[in-house]
Each structure stands twice: as C-alpha cells, then as structure tokens.
C-alpha cells in the first residue's frame, strides 16, 4: 500500500510500473484519475485550491485502503492526492488497484474513491469570475459511500 | 488543554485556525461544542445543531458523545470535498 | 472513440493524454489494464498467444463502445487490444473512459470490459510446462455481462 | 457460395481455417451446421447441439435461425476468451 499527499503532479504510467514490479500474478489493474474541470455548476473555474488536514489525511487514506484490502483480494494499491493551488485540467487524485481478477480491482477502486470523497479531510475552494467559493459536498457522494456499507451489511 | 483546529469555510468564518481550550467539565465533543457556541452569534450559528459540520478527535472521525481528555486534538470542519 | 487491435504494446499515460487533449470538461478518467499472469488455474504459463477474427474484432469493439456511449455521458473512450504472442506480465488490453463525473466513467469502463470478455472474438492459448491449451471461457464472465443487460431491462 | 471461417480450438480440431461452401437448401445457420455435421464423427461431435460454439454472420453474432445468402461470411468459433 502506498499513500501520498503532495503538491507535485503524478504520472499514472510510472505509478503502475512501481506497483507491478516483480508481481507477475497481477492480471487486472483498475485506476481512477480525478481532474479539475473548467466549469462547475455552470460557472467557469480559473483556480482550484485544495486545503487539507495534515496528518489526518494520510491516516484517513491509509484506513480507507486497509478497508479495501480486508474486503477484496488485492495485490497492490496506490493512492495519491494533491493539495495546494491547481488549474483546470490539472490532476487531483490517483487511485490504482491491482488484483488477480478484474472484479476485485474495479470494486476496490470505486470503493476507495467513494470513501475518499466522504471520509478524507480535503476541501476544495474554487476561484471563479464571480469570486471565491467553497465547493459544497454532494448528497450523491454520501449515497455512493453508503451503498458499500449496505452491501457489506447485506452479506453478513 | 485541548488543541482545537478549524478548517476550510469554518476556519474562514470563525477567523481562527488553531487554539488551545481547557477540557470542558462535560468532557465530550458535545460539551466542547456547547462552550464554543456561547462565544457569540457567529459561533452559535456556524456550529448550530443540524448544521453540516464534522468533528475528528485525534484524527479519527468522532461523534457528539466521543470523550475528550487533556492533550486531545479536536478538529471541526465542514463535510469534505476532496477527490 | 478510438479502437485499436495491434501486436504492439501501449502506454496508458500517452493514451490518456491523447484522449484528454483540449477537453477541460473531463473530471473523471477510469481505466483498466489486463495483464498476462504467470499462473492460471494452478499451472505456470510461459507464453500466451492471442488469436482473433480480423475485421470482426474492430467491429465488435466499436459496437461495445457505442453501447456504452448510448448508456452513459462520456467525453471520450479508448480501447486497445493486443494480438499475437505475449509473455507473463505483458499488457493485453487497455480501456480508458473519460466523463464529467466518476460514476459514469467507472460504470462504462466496467461495462466495456464485461462485454469485451464475452462479445469480442479473441481467443487465448497458453503454453505451459504440460503443453499447449486453449483457455476456457468462464461462466463468471457471462454472468458479469448479463448483469448490465438485466440492469437496463430493470430500468425500462 | 458462403465463405466459412473457423477459429481457435475449432480450427485446430477440424483442421481447416477457411473454405467455400455452397449455400445450403435450408439457407440458415442451422442448415449449414447440419451439412457440416454430416462430414464425419469429428465434425458431428465438435458442432453437436449443446456444445459451446458460436456463429457470426458477416461479423455479427448470429443465431440458429439467422438467414444465409450467397456471398455471406460465416464464422464458427468457441466462446471468446479475450481481455
């Protein structure tokens, strides 16, 4: 497991290569990249600032990955989240999950993103033509995170 | 003492990022929030029941009845919006 | 939409860069890489040969992507499948899906892989210590493809 | 005539990758399969009802009742295993 919070950009090919090294049992790699969009809720965004809670962010991300590792058969996982000032089209977050089989890789990758979106202490502030605004959390993200909890409960 | 942190829109609205506060007599998250709400209208409103804020104690998500003791780090912040 | 069947390897970073160029409305990129594993069903694999049906493969892949585009709001999609002789740890298939929102990107990426596994005319032959063998299709792949059809039916 | 293709394990087992076959009187996929099964035990067994093979006509997946006409490309193969 590799969890990083950083201002620097990342490269998905390099991260996948690092994750795979020496493990030819990996048959499936699912990944996700989150990007800064130039529009949000109908307004143009010129700068996106990511604030975080140093210490807790790393801890929350490691906890989210541990939950995924307990739930699916994983052969490696990398999570990188950027902080600081970003521009439209910049990369924000990377999640890479390796497994022998694709269902595990896909499910764990989606689970990690859903939990990250609701449990990891990052906050986005957008600078738009009409001024600064903090991005509101979405009920759809809470619902997305909830379905994993409900799925687990249903299996017990 | 407790180390109390505020983040994002709450930090901006309350004008404070970090402060030290004595452990309240009612030594729970709810007890601390009661004390903060007495600081004035802005605090009472920002931290009102039913408002969308979250609390972490020692960097783990916490509930109203989570116990507090001297040396704890308590963070109060709006719902997260990373990713 | 970009669909390629080729003997050459691919690079996920380069494909994502090509897909994103000039579209700052993309907020989410989900991707999948399938790899040759060094073991399958308990036997070591030394070479994997991918046979295909030239002409129909490209058509089937394009059709699968069109179905995904009709079903979710996508801002770009790339599918690359290799053919010929591969070794353990080699890349076999790449699917990259871009969207404004992550749920669409994840679902479309998983859908494309599930349909590709059951509808696109590729066949794997493994060379192992005990000789050559054609890989058997899996009921789990049929079931994975079926759930999308059932989900669609349920929504109608 | 039909252009008939065989792939993967079927191609290896039947020893043929491509051939030209007259359009059968019963001009459907089922009609073509009946004719092929009469070629001998190996063919009858490889293409037996209930065996796991698939047919594509002009590069689209087809069914037993899919119609055939002169010039069609018919491919017979095992369930696919790509990805």
| CB-count burial class (<10 Å; 0-12, 13-18, 19+) for B76 | buried
C12 CB neighbours in chain A (<8 A) are: 12-13, 16, 31
Compare CB distances from A123 to B5, B60, B78 and report the shortest one's residue. Answer: B78
Q: Any chain C CB within 8 A of the CB of A105?
A: yes
C10 CB neighbours in chain A (<8 A) are: none
Does residue D51 register a pLDDT over 90? no
In this structure, are residues C88 and C82 in contact, taking their beta carbons and an 8 Å threshold? no
Whole-number percent of chain A with pLDDT over 90: 85
C117 phi/psi in degrees, rounded to 5: -65, -20
Q: Complex ipTM, two decimals?
A: 0.93
Mean pLDDT score, C1-24: 96
Does residue C153 register a pLDDT over 90? no
Buried b / exposed e along A40-76 (16+ C-beta atoms within 10 A) = beeeebeebebbbbeebbbbbbebbbebbeebbebbb
Other CB atoms within a 10 A radius of the CB of residue C58 amount to 18
Identify how many contiguous H helices and E strands chain B contains and give both numbers. Answer: 3, 5
Sorted by sequence, the CB contacts under 8 Å of residue C25 that are 6+ apart come out as A37, A38, A39, C75, C100
Q: How confident is the model at residue C109 (pLDDT cuts 50, 70, 90)?
A: very high
Q: How confident is the model at residue C155 (pLDDT cuts 50, 70, 90)?
A: confident
Q: What is the DSSP code string of C13-61?
A: HHHHHHHHTT-TT--EEEEEEEE--SEETTEEEEEEEEEE-TTHHHHHH
Q: Any chain C CB within 8 A of the CB of A102?
A: yes
Mean pLDDT score, C43-63: 96
Does residue C156 register a pLDDT over 80? no
In this structure, are residues D57 and D74 in contact, taking their beta carbons and an 8 Å threshold? yes
Confidence at residue A9, expressed as pLDDT on a 0 to 100 scale: 98
How far is CA C110 from each of CA A116, C9, C95, rounded to the nearest angstrom?
20, 22, 9
Whole-angstrom distance, CA of residue C83 vs CA of residue B27: 66
Does residue A156 register a pLDDT over 80? no
D75 phi/psi in degrees, rounded to 5: -120, 135
CA A138, A143, A146: angle at the middle one, nearest 5? 135
Q: How far does the CA of residue A63 sit from the closest CA of chain C (Å)?
A: 22
Across the interface, do A56 and B81 touch by the CB < 8 Å criterion? no
Specify the range with the lowest mean pLDDT, choosing from C58-62, C151-155, D14-18: C151-155
A140 → chain C, closest CA residue: C103
The CATH superfamily holding the domain D2-77 is Beta-grasp domain (3.10.20.30)
More confident residue, B6 or D50: B6
Confidence at residue C129, expressed as pLDDT on a 0 to 100 scale: 87
B49 phi/psi in degrees, rounded to 5: -55, 140
Whole-angstrom distance, CA of residue C133 vs CA of residue A91: 43
Sorted by sequence, the CB contacts under 8 Å of residue A139 that are 6+ apart come out as none
pLDDT digits (tens, 9 = 90+) for D23-38: 999 999 999 999 999 9
Q: Any chain A CB within 8 A of the CB of C35?
A: yes
Sorted by sequence, the CB contacts under 8 Å of residue A72 that are 6+ apart come out as A99, A104, A107, A108, A111
Q: How far does the CA of residue A80 sit from the closest CA of chain B (Å)?
A: 10
A112 → chain B, closest CA residue: B83
Provide the token pair at C26: 């993309």
Provide the token pair at A35: 């990007």
Provide the token pair at B39: 């600081």
Question: By three-state DSSP, how is residue C96 classified?
Answer: strand
Q: How confident is the model at residue D47 (pLDDT cuts 50, 70, 90)?
A: very high
Confidence at residue A153, expressed as pLDDT on a 0 to 100 scale: 83
Does residue A42 register a pLDDT over 90? no
Does residue B18 register a pLDDT over 90? yes
In this structure, are residues C76 and C23 in contact, taking their beta carbons and an 8 Å threshold? yes
The domains of chain A are located at 2-155
**HEC letters along chain A:** CEEEEECCCCCHHHHHHHHHCCCCCCCEEEEEEEECCCEECCEEEEEEEEEECCCHHHHHHHHHHHHHHHHCCCCEEEEEEECEEECCCCEEEEEEEEECCHHHHHHHHHHHHHHHHHHCCEEEEEEECCEEEECCCCHHHHHHHHHHHHHHHHHC
Mean pLDDT score, A63-87: 98
- The secondary element (H helix, E strand) that includes residue D56 is strand D54-57
D48 phi/psi in degrees, rounded to 5: -60, 150
Whole-angstrom distance, CA of residue C95 vs CA of residue C33: 7
Q: Over chain C, what is the mean pLDDT? A: 95
Does residue A114 register a pLDDT over 90? yes
A122 CB neighbours in chain B (<8 A) are: 80-83
Confidence at residue C27, expressed as pLDDT on a 0 to 100 scale: 97
pLDDT digits (tens, 9 = 90+) for B42-81: 999 999 988 789 999 999 999 999 999 999 999 999 999 9
Whole-angstrom distance, CA of residue D61 vs CA of residue D55: 6
Whole-angstrom distance, CA of residue D62 vs CA of residue B55: 59
Confidence at residue D54, expressed as pLDDT on a 0 to 100 scale: 94
Other CB atoms within a 10 A radius of the CB of residue D22 amount to 10
D77 CB neighbours in chain C (<8 A) are: 53, 121, 123
Sorted by sequence, the CB contacts under 8 Å of residue C153 that are 6+ apart come out as none
Class level of CATH domain A2-155 = alpha beta
Confidence at residue A152, expressed as pLDDT on a 0 to 100 scale: 83
Confidence at residue B27, expressed as pLDDT on a 0 to 100 scale: 97
Q: How confident is the model at residue A106 (pLDDT cuts 50, 70, 90)?
A: very high
C95 → chain D, closest CA residue: D83
Compare CB distances from A29 to C27, C29, C35 and report the shortest one's residue. Answer: C35
Whole-angstrom distance, CA of residue C131 vs CA of residue C46: 10
A120 → chain B, closest CA residue: B80
């Amino acid at each position: 497991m590799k969890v990083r919070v950083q201002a620097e950009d990342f490269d998905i090919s390099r991260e996948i290569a690092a994750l795979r090294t020496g493990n030819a049992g990996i048959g499936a790699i699912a990944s996700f990249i989150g990007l800064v969009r130039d529009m949000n809720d109908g307004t143009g965004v010129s700068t996106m600032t990511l604030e975080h809670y140093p210490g807790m962010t790393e801890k929350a991300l490691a906890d989210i990955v541990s939950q995924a590792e307990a739930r699916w058969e994983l052969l490696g996982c990398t999570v990188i989240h950027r902080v600081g000032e970003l521009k439209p089209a910049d990369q924000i977050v990377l999640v890479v999950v390796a497994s022998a089989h694709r269902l595990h890789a896909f499910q764990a990758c989606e689970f990690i993103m859903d939990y990250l979106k609701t449990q990891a202490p990052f906050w986005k502030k957008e600078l738009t033509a009409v001024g600064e605004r903090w991005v509101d959390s979405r009920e759809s993200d809470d619902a997305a995170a909830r379905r994993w909890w409900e799925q687990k409960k249903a299996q017990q | 003492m407790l180390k109390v942190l505020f983040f994002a829109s709450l930090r901006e609205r309350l004008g404070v990022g970090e402060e030290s506060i004595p452990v309240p007599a009612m030594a729970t998250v709810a007890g601390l929030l009661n004390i903060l709400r007495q600081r004035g209208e802005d605090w009472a409103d920002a931290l009102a029941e039913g408002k969308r804020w979250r609390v972490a104690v020692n960097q783990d998500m916490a509930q109203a009845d989570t116990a507090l003791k001297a040396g704890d780090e308590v963070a109060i912040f709006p719902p997260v919006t990373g990713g």
